[in-house]
Structure 1
Amino acid sequence: MKRSIKYIFGSVLILFASACSDSFLDKEPISNFSGQGFYKKPSDAQAGVNGIYNSMQSLFRLNFAYWGEGRADNVLTRHSGDPFALQQNALTPIINSARWDNFYTLISRANYAIKYTPQVFGDGESELKKQLLGQSRALRGITYFYLVRIWGQVPLVTEPYESVEQDVFVSRNTEAEVLAQVEEDLLFAVANAASSYSGARNRVLVTKGVAYAFLTQLYMWQKQYDKAIAAAEKVLADGQYSLVSMNDWNEIFVKGQSTESIFEVGYNEVQTNALRALYALGSDSDYVPSARFIASIEVGDLRKPRIYDITEVQPRKIWKFFGQGFKDESPDPSSNNIVLTRLADIILLKAEAHARLNQPTEALELLNRIRRRAGIAVLDEAAANNLYGTLVATVLHERSIELCFEGHRWFDLVRSGTAIATMKPINGLSSEDNLVWPLHESATLRNLNLKQNEFYK
């Protein structure tokens, strides 16, 4: 028995990280090492943190769209597998998007970095030590935030596994316990991460602005609207972020690292993602715009022809991530960065928070910034209520269009309490217990302390 436990630990203790280089995205092949034996000098700590970012590339390369869009109303699919299961609300414990392995690989790497980075720098103050710890804590917090939104209760692991005395058969923690750790990690990053970095690293490494942006998302999820407004104000006051012009809207995703971007998962020709398979392969892509989404776009919206080919009755691909008129249907992986959060996201979250606090003047000013750029009429409260019923619903509609296919829509439906009303006519969703994913059978078979989510028992 002890031997088998050691084997489990041996699997968990493998830590992957990239060698240091001048550019974060210019990585050497991945190497394996034990945390205890590897962290000896500052460059090792940097390599360990690079390994956390490397995990993010694997984690989000495909599933960001499955988790954030696949179960919502803006997409249509003809594909089998996860795309069809998610759209039909036919989730089972064997679908690939129910796996959380990559989440806990990232968390393991972060836990090693958090424990060992201080040791290689000694007792003295070091700006690099603070920045590396800030990045590690933020990345762990962001990861747990996704875990809670997808599965609900999840195991909270904050120490690296280094001894057979540690309990590997962990149970699930409450959502409140995990989200408290998320907040603690992000607040630590606010205090310790760098304000900015030079060159191309500035949108793919964690900064204070990234931490504030995810705090805004966290507080909106928790319905702590005053806190969400305060965090969003920190982002809006940061001079390095500004909305791009409508002419450059697609460039946010095609080229990446725009002034509007806050945090992107960085990719290149070596570390690639599945954006093309998700959205660009003509009649064979995972997702195309649904008829419901197309009908929801207001007349004259300048974003519409930048999202898909408006000359097609049923658009065959999504142009948003590749540029207006994109025709290349190569099945090759994509090197585009994946934008996890940008300024328009935070502006609209702040607008929603004001609307929920019955502060229409502030909400409308922010909402109309986005509408004005899109070339559609600015609204007063009466016009918003006439169009969409309430000011909150108006902001949520604007998020649906502005942030379409970026991985926000499902989470917006869940946190706003509109998922069942929206999806029941489409796929029969009717139970609050059905809003989370099932735990993959590989997790529940390995660890009998993990109890399946109630709806999927």
Structure 2
Amino acid sequence: MQININKVMGWVLVGSLVLTSCNKKLSEYNPSGMTADVTYTTAKGFETLVNAAYTYTRWWYGKEEGYSLSEMGTDIWTNGTGDVFPQLSRYDNLQGSNTTALGMEWDNFYAAIYLINTGLAQIDNVADYTDKQKTQRGAELHFLRAFYYWHIVETWGGVHLTTVATAPGVIESTANKTPVADFYKLIFDDLDYAVKNLPATTSDYGRATVPVAKAFQARMFLTRGMNTEAANAAREVIYNYGYTLLPKFADLWNMGNLKNKEVIWAVDYSTNLANNDLTSAAYPTGHPRGSNSGHMLFLQVYDQVNTSLLLRDIPNGRPFNRYMPTKALLDLFNESDDSRYQSSFQTAWLCNKAGTAAGNSFNTADVSTFKVGDTVCYTSKNTLPAADMNAKHYTTYDLSRVYNAAGIPTNRKFYVSLKKFKDSTRASSGEAQSARDVFVIRLAEMYLIGAEAELNNGRMDSAVFYLNKVRTRAAVPGHEAAMQITAAQVNLDFILDERARELCGEQLRWFDLKRTNKLIDRVARLNPDAAQYIKPYQTVRPIPQSQIDAVTNKSEFSQNPGYQ
């Protein structure tokens, strides 16, 4: 029977949470009064722990805080007028006390770690589990621990590492600084265990399997410069488990086609919004987790272009105006050959309220009659003649009306908008929740990992082969030949460009730039909003100030260098 592993079920122990800035409201919460040594000795009780361990992915994937930490502060996005974490977007006065995003992710990913450590310590005591069940659930916990620790170590560097289950009610007051290499030793050990002990398939969508663990292993190998291992792991996933690139890139984002053959692992958001834990007694932190909010974050405020002709509606989405593309991201696409531009971005907004009005805000003397379906707003990645734009009956925002010559936005409200994550199945235009799954790992990434690893190994023919697989799928029909590249074109920057075209918005970009030692260089060259602020030490984020304040061994556990 399929269950929703991302719905918290039953009682969940959170009593061992300590590193989360000694938040006693969270640390001491136990609605049932039961203890781990009782609850987790039964299969029913232990299942609640494993299911809860998965739910912490929802604090990052599909959430504004996670997008701000994984996509913003890079070369491809800058802040719209609605951005609530501009420090993360621009590195402007980025200190530990300035943003709740850092504290929220720190708290909840360490909560996940402590829950998993508890589970691994208790699993042998589950009386009504078979040995096979113990092995599988243990392997899932090992995988999840590796997954969460990767986010922690890449975001904050060599911070606190523990594999110990802390007793309920015990509040630790000290923390350690563990070398990054030690984090990765544990990550690889956990993934080795997972690969050896997970099942190859699952009927419970969203659970970890062997190919999920191998795909994440490929990402980790690449992160640590283990290029031969990365190429081999990516190749295994590409060829051995039945995954395939969908025929069209646009097919990936169809709300009716989310569970498809290209998705290796996803955070599964339920179509029953009540199952997405908008609020939950098990997480009494005052922060609603809810479902996927990515559908709102990248949209321009189209409903402010012309309120007589274009109203907020379900198909166009609820525009939060948080993030907008840098000019550099738009410049990466040749829309004549590459279908990913039109498949990823919305450029036209159509009349949904018929009437006679001045439709062009740059030529208000032109009063025209608009029918439903007529263009009201058009955005372009190119510079268009002003006379041509002013002659239109609708408003146009071309490159010159959104960015200055240096690439700094002069207009942060109206722009080319990422539409990948839009959800036309929402019940109302004001609905903030979306049932869209978040793709954490998909097959195209394996081709791109293979390409980067083979480039690093000097195997250019293989690198080109992998890249052309992705680019052929992305081609506008009839333009496949134009999308093919040769070895002479391939270097690390080309691969990063290709990853941006394929994966923009998919919560990988900051990690990609850090892995390739290109974060400082590409932000400085391609994101003028952030270039003036970014410093070399900002390849890690500041530890939340609440954590620094809470520990008693401040001389051993201090703020990351540069943020003091």
- Which TM-score bucket, shorter chain as reference? 0.7 to 0.9
Equivalent residues of 2:78, 2:90 under 8 A apart:
no
Tell me which residue corresponds to 2:326. 290
**2: distance between equivalents of 1:346 and 1:247?**
15
**1:303 aligns to 2:340 (yes or no):** yes
Deviates further, 141-150 or 66-75: 66-75
* Cα 1:307–1:195 shift into 2, 3 Å: same
* Cα 1:252–1:35 shift into 2, 3 Å: farther
Equivalent residues of 2:246, 2:252 under 8 A apart:
no
* Cα 1:147–1:254 shift into 2, 3 Å: farther
* Cα 1:374–1:59 shift into 2, 3 Å: closer
Tell me which residue corresponds to 2:505. 405
Tell me which residue corresponds to 2:561. 454
**TM-score normalized with structure 1 length:** 0.86
**2: distance between equivalents of 1:43 and 1:65?**
34
Q: Which runs of 4+ in 1 moved over 6 A?
A: 163-166, 323-326
Tell me which residue corresponds to 1:442. 546
* Cα 1:82–1:36 shift into 2, 3 Å: farther
Tell me which residue corresponds to 1:433. 537
**1: distance between equivalents of 2:435 and 2:170?**
43
Shift of 1:324: 9.9
Matches within 5 A, 1:112-123: 112-121=118-127
Equivalent residues of 1:319, 1:325 under 8 A apart:
no
**1: distance between equivalents of 2:235 and 2:560?**
37
Percent identity of equivalent pairs: 22
SS across alignment from 2:194: helix
**TM-score normalized with structure 2 length:** 0.71
Residues 284-315 of structure 1 deviation map (CA, whole Å, 9 limit, x = unaligned): 32112222211111242101111112341353
Equivalent residues of 1:265, 1:338 under 8 A apart:
yes
Code of the residue aligned with 2:109 in structure 1: it is F
**1:93 aligns to 2:199 (yes or no):** no
Matches within 5 A, 1:281-430: 282=301, 284-299=320-335, 300-311=337-348, 312-313=379-380, 314-315=414-415, 317-322=417-422, 330-375=430-475, 376-382=482-488, 384=489, 390-425=490-525, 426=528, 427=530, 428=532
Tell me which residue corresponds to 1:102. 108
Tell me which residue corresponds to 1:222. 224
Residues 366-386 of structure 1 deviation map (CA, whole Å, 9 limit, x = unaligned): 10000001115211112x1xx
Matches within 5 A, 1:128-167: 128-162=133-167
Code of the residue aligned with 2:492 in structure 1: it is V
Shift of 1:429: 5.0
**2: distance between equivalents of 1:334 and 1:281?**
18
Whichever of the two has the greater Rg, that structure is 2
**1: distance between equivalents of 2:186 and 2:249?**
40
Equivalent residues of 1:255, 1:336 under 8 A apart:
no
Tell me which residue corresponds to 1:273. 292
Tell me which residue corresponds to 1:13. none
Deviates further, 226-235 or 404-413: 226-235
Tell me which residue corresponds to 2:212. 210
**1:195 aligns to 2:197 (yes or no):** no
SS across alignment from 2:483: coil
Residues 159-217 of structure 1 deviation map (CA, whole Å, 9 limit, x = unaligned): 1111788954121211111111111111110011111112xx33x11111111111111
Relative to its length, the structure with more helix (as a share) is: 1
Tell me which residue corresponds to 2:48. 47
Code of the residue aligned with 1:93 in structure 2: it is G
* Cα 1:28–1:37 shift into 2, 3 Å: closer
Shift of 1:27: 5.3
**1: distance between equivalents of 2:340 and 2:83?**
30
SS across alignment from 2:112: helix
* Cα 1:360–1:302 shift into 2, 3 Å: same
* Cα 1:329–1:360 shift into 2, 3 Å: farther
Shift of 1:319: 0.7
Aligned-residue RMSD, C-alpha: 2.7
**1: distance between equivalents of 2:443 and 2:464?**
16
Equivalent residues of 2:269, 2:435 under 8 A apart:
yes
**1: distance between equivalents of 2:131 and 2:10?**
28
**1:56 aligns to 2:37 (yes or no):** no
**2: distance between equivalents of 1:205 and 1:127?**
16
Code of the residue aligned with 2:159 in structure 1: it is V
Shift of 1:434: 1.4
Residues 237-271 of structure 1 deviation map (CA, whole Å, 9 limit, x = unaligned): 23331111116533377742211111111212131
Unmatched runs of 5 consecutive residues or more in structure 2: 13-29, 277-290, 302-318, 349-378, 381-413, 476-481
Shift of 1:439: 0.7
Code of the residue aligned with 2:226 in structure 1: it is Q
Residues 415-440 of structure 1 deviation map (CA, whole Å, 9 limit, x = unaligned): 11111111124223553311111011
Tell me which residue corresponds to 1:15. none
Equivalent residues of 2:344, 2:420 under 8 A apart:
yes
**1:24 aligns to 2:5 (yes or no):** yes
Equivalent residues of 1:420, 1:429 under 8 A apart:
no
Unmatched runs of 5 consecutive residues or more in structure 1: 1-19, 385-389
Shift of 1:29: 6.5
SS across alignment from 2:541: coil
Equivalent residues of 1:444, 1:452 under 8 A apart:
yes
Code of the residue aligned with 1:365 in structure 2: it is F
Deviates further, 390-399 or 438-447: 390-399
Shift of 1:141: 0.5
